[in-house]
Structure 1
Amino acid sequence: MFTFDEEDFSEDMDYDFFVDDTLDEHPHSPLDQEIQEEAARKKAEKQYKSLKNVDPTDPIIMWWTEFTRESGKARLCGDKRCFFTNNRSYKDHKNMKAFLFYGTDFSPKDLPLPREKHHEWALFHEESPKNNYLLCHEAALSLFNLTSTFRRESDFPLTTQHLHSLQWLESDQFTKATSQKNRYQQQDGLAPVVYVQSDCDPPSDRDSYVKMLMKHIKVDSYGSCMNNKQLPHPINSPLEGMAHRDFYELVSRYKFAISMENAVCQDYITEKFWRPLIVGTVPIAFGSPTIRDFFPDNKSVLSILDFPVVEDLVSRIKELNLKDVDYDKLRNWKHTGVTNSELQKILRERTWTPYDEQTWSWGQVNFVEAFECFVCEHIHENLQREARGDPIISRWAKKEHYGCPMPLEFDKSGRYTQESKSYTWSKLWQNQLSIAENLKECVTQRLPYCGDY
């Protein structure tokens, strides 16, 4: 039985209500969440009467790059209210305060120019640097007042965006005993190491390293990169399958999982690192130079950076594969809990929850809305300071808010130190450096277009 307050719904709209009765392993949004979101939208429309001819009295925050698909909605952030929209007709509105940019789609050819002094720019970019090398350079980053990236130095960091919770990390739902993992190797012929990747030849040059690894130890590679084993249906989909419980079950059968990111940058950590830990498999990690700051404890992960050459890592894997007692020490944290105080602190102080259809519950705040409110509260704080005659808080992004180094390559020994002028990703990084410098000059001169500057 459903009960609604009539005031929550418009009389001139038809509503279809349905119950999703699929099995639990088929993720879906809770029905009450859909209803409440629709109710909230209708209340906002009533407040502003019609979104077609709205003249917001609240500070306007606009997603210049399409991201949330929000045409116009007033929302409270604590006791402060802002009007969020993607409608560019508000660009020159007197209450226009901040433009939000999704990093992957940020382009010099499409910017709200000329830039007004009272307009703040905010960057939201949780993605890999390979998506937009322009933002690796300080000249481009310095155009933004506020940032939200995977870097802990950013104003609103998203470093743990792929980690649902401490409880989820510590769960033993998929964890297999070492004796079981041994049987999978002996009876089913599984390799000690698993690799699942279909994004081949990325800037981190991980494929080169995995090829070197394969020369010395058996690796089951299920993705399209160096494929030698097929994923079963229904988990053979590159995206949907990676979050399926059957995929978690598969990874849990292996002792080690290669967890190499597609790019190297401080604090860039994705599900490739967390997934093996969640299922009780030891990650072989590479990507963030600061990855050790996020180990559950100091013996839970094999970092490629700790092994001078690839043969050293191979020797360690083989040694651990034969000595169950030593291998179990790497997974002891699954029984004692996470002891990394830095990781505990980050999760404890996090004001948002990563969005995941399988673990999401009504009432949680996703990191996009939390970032929007962060910007809203910043704007209101400066408005209050202006009203009092106090100087406003001026923020400008620095290179440390995102800037990622030029991509390198692995040498023949497995050291990630080799520079190459012919390397495609390095050339792209260098090319974007000059574009970033030109863009900064163009915007500073308040020109109306910077796409061809």
Structure 2
Amino acid sequence: MESRNSSRSCKNLFIAVVLMTGFSAIFYMYYEPSVNWLNCPAVPKHDDCGNICINGLKRPNQIQILNNTLMLNLTSFRHQLTQTEAASSQGDDLDTIILVWMWPFGHQFDLGLCSSMYDIHGCHLTVDKSQFNKAHGVLFHHRDIYGDLSNMPKLPRPPFQKWVWMNMESPSNTAIHSSLNNLFNLTSSYRKDSDIMVPYGRISENTGGKKHYEILHKNKLVCWIVSNWNPNTHRRTKYFAEFEKHISVETYGNHFNKRIGDEDYTDVMSSCKFYLSFENSVHKDYITEKLYRPLSLGTVPVVIGPPRENYEEFIPASAFIHVDDFKTPKGLADHLKCLDQNDDLYRQHFTWREHFIVRGGYFGLEHACRACDHIRRNKNYRVVNDLNSWFWG
């Protein structure tokens, strides 16, 4: 609205100036000033300087030149004003172009869902590399960047374009490329201190109002699905080795030769009272779908990961159980057995569901949409000087 009012005011002002200029020209042509204020060349004494200059303007060719000049300026201004008003009327609806340089892990996603999924408008996502020079931002997935950067753009980067570094793996599972410093303008990861933070999931307010949450029937006490097994570096494998001595655990996954397909995952997970949401590495903010998927299916997560305080930055304190709350794996096992025998205590882990719901993240799509929204709102210069120190530290 302000932009349109400004354009209208500018137009009115110019019309007023044009009218005054035309009036002045006519005035100078037909009015003979008695004061010698025009800077004319030396002329005979019997000739009035003002008359000579004014008479010059009265000549037909000079009047035509004056009229043509006024019309040319008016036409030019009207053209510029039309372009300005057109751009102003579109305003923020002009598309911001984000080029997804490589599909993350080769996983393709729908490029037209920013508005419907995240209420982000005015964004155009593309994988067409011929749009490189037009793109306002280019999204690069770290795990798909070659160490020698041979699959990165070869054309000079347009000065307005921002390169976005995307990564959702922890530092322990991410190779270091020394050549990435001073290359990117923005970061997008699970880290809260990223320029564009995209977590693996979110706890959002239940806008439908407070409601009673019904806990589904459970026929399993503790469950764990795991394929990536490394007893030498993973804290979770060492902890589990001691934990399972004191409590029965239903185990699934490639490591236990009992793979769970997507079609069976929901049924298995929702049938468990507790799930071992053990991260494969422990890093700040690294809280993955191993937490959010059980939460969404009504199972209480038992977590190994960053400290409890870090988890509580993302989810309610009562929504999960942290292994560090207990001195030993046996202490944790005894606590879970107690909750199994006391429904009232077990229900305390679901009181937050009366006010909140769980939303999962969408790998790749959400990064691209939120990168577009960030670039659209922030036009300032930005560069990541030392990506390696920031992420791997």
Place the TM-score, normalised by the shorter chain, in its bin. 0.5 to 0.7
1:198 aligned onto 2:227: yes
How many angstroms does 1:284 deviate by? 0.5
Contact 2:275 2:299 in 1 (8 A): yes
Report the more deviating stretch, 317-326 or 113-122.
Answer: 113-122
How many angstroms does 1:90 deviate by? 5.4
SS of the equivalent of 1:284 reads strand
TM-score with structure 1 setting the length? 0.51
What residue is the counterpart of 2:167 in the other structure?
A: 125
Distance 1:175 1:322, change over 3 A: closer
Pick aligned residue for 2:313 from 290, 293, 299: 293
What residue is the counterpart of 2:273 in the other structure?
A: 255
What residue is the counterpart of 1:412 in the other structure?
A: none
Q: Structure 2 stretches of 5 or more lacking a match?
A: 1-93
SS of the equivalent of 2:276 reads strand
Q: What amino acid maps onto 2:222 in structure 1? A: V
CA distance, structure 1, for counterparts of residue 182 and residue 235 of structure 2: 29
Pick aligned residue for 1:148 from 177, 188, 206: 188
Distance 1:78 1:326, change over 3 A: closer
How many angstroms does 1:261 deviate by? 1.8
Distance 1:251 1:84, change over 3 A: closer
**Deviation per CA, 1:86-113, whole angstroms, max 9, x where unpaired?**
344555x4x4654320122122323335
Distance 1:173 1:266, change over 3 A: same
Q: What amino acid maps onto 1:64 in structure 2? A: W
1:172-211 map, 5 Å: 175-176=215-216, 181=218, 184=219, 190=220, 192-201=221-230, 204-211=234-241
**Deviation per CA, 1:167-213, whole angstroms, max 9, x where unpaired?**
4999877723xxx54xx3xxxxx4x2111122333864422222221
Q: Structure 1 stretches of 5 or more lacking a match?
A: 1-56, 185-189, 339-343, 357-364, 383-391, 406-453
Contact 2:181 2:388 in 1 (8 A): no
Contact 1:60 1:84 in 2 (8 A): yes
Q: What amino acid maps onto 2:244 in structure 1? A: M
Report the more deviating stretch, 143-152 or 284-293.
Answer: 284-293
Query: How many residue pairs get matched?
Result: 288
Contact 1:123 1:147 in 2 (8 A): yes
Pick aligned residue for 1:396 from 378, 384, 390: 384
CA distance, structure 1, for counterparts of residue 329 and residue 182 of structure 2: 39
1:322 aligned onto 2:341: yes
Q: What amino acid maps onto 1:309 in structure 2? A: T
Pick aligned residue for 1:269 from 287, 301, 309: 287
Distance 1:262 1:172, change over 3 A: farther
How many angstroms does 1:273 deviate by? 0.8
Pick aligned residue for 1:157 from 187, 190, 197: 197
What residue is the counterpart of 2:251 in the other structure?
A: 221
How many angstroms does 1:333 deviate by? 2.7
What residue is the counterpart of 1:389 in the other structure?
A: none
1:311 aligned onto 2:340: no
How many angstroms does 1:316 deviate by? 2.2
Q: What amino acid maps onto 2:139 in structure 1? A: L
Distance 1:60 1:163, change over 3 A: closer
CA distance, structure 1, for counterparts of residue 392 and residue 338 of structure 2: 35
Sequence identity (%): 26
Contact 1:97 1:120 in 2 (8 A): yes
How many angstroms does 1:117 deviate by? 7.9
How many angstroms does 1:219 deviate by? 0.8
How many angstroms does 1:258 deviate by? 0.4
How many angstroms does 1:306 deviate by? 2.5
1:27-426 map, 5 Å: 61-67=98-104, 84-89=125-130, 93=133, 95=134, 98-109=137-148, 110-112=151-153, 116=157, 118=159, 120-129=162-171, 131-134=173-176, 140=180, 143-159=183-199, 161-163=200-202, 165-167=204-206, 175-176=215-216, 181=218, 184=219, 190=220, 192-201=221-230, 204-226=234-256, 236-237=260-261, 239=262, 241-242=264-265, 244=266, 247=267, 250-289=268-307, 290-296=310-316, 298-334=317-353, 336-338=354-356, 354-355=361-362, 367-374=366-373, 376-377=375-376, 382=379, 392-396=380-384, 403=391
Contact 1:64 1:101 in 2 (8 A): yes
How many angstroms does 1:259 deviate by? 0.6
CA distance, structure 2, for counterparts of residue 218 and residue 69 of structure 1: 40
CA distance, structure 2, for counterparts of residue 223 and residue 353 of structure 1: 21
CA distance, structure 1, for counterparts of residue 141 and residue 362 of structure 2: 17
TM-score with structure 2 setting the length? 0.58
What residue is the counterpart of 1:33 in the other structure?
A: none
**Deviation per CA, 1:376-435, whole angstroms, max 9, x where unpaired?**
415xx54xxxxxxxxx53242666997257xxxxxxxxxxxxxxxxxxxxxxxxxxxxxx
CA distance, structure 1, for counterparts of residue 122 and residue 224 of structure 2: 47
CA distance, structure 2, for counterparts of residue 299 and residue 324 of structure 1: 15
CA distance, structure 1, for counterparts of residue 195 and residue 389 of structure 2: 8
What's the C-alpha RMSD, in Å, of the aligned pairs? 4.5
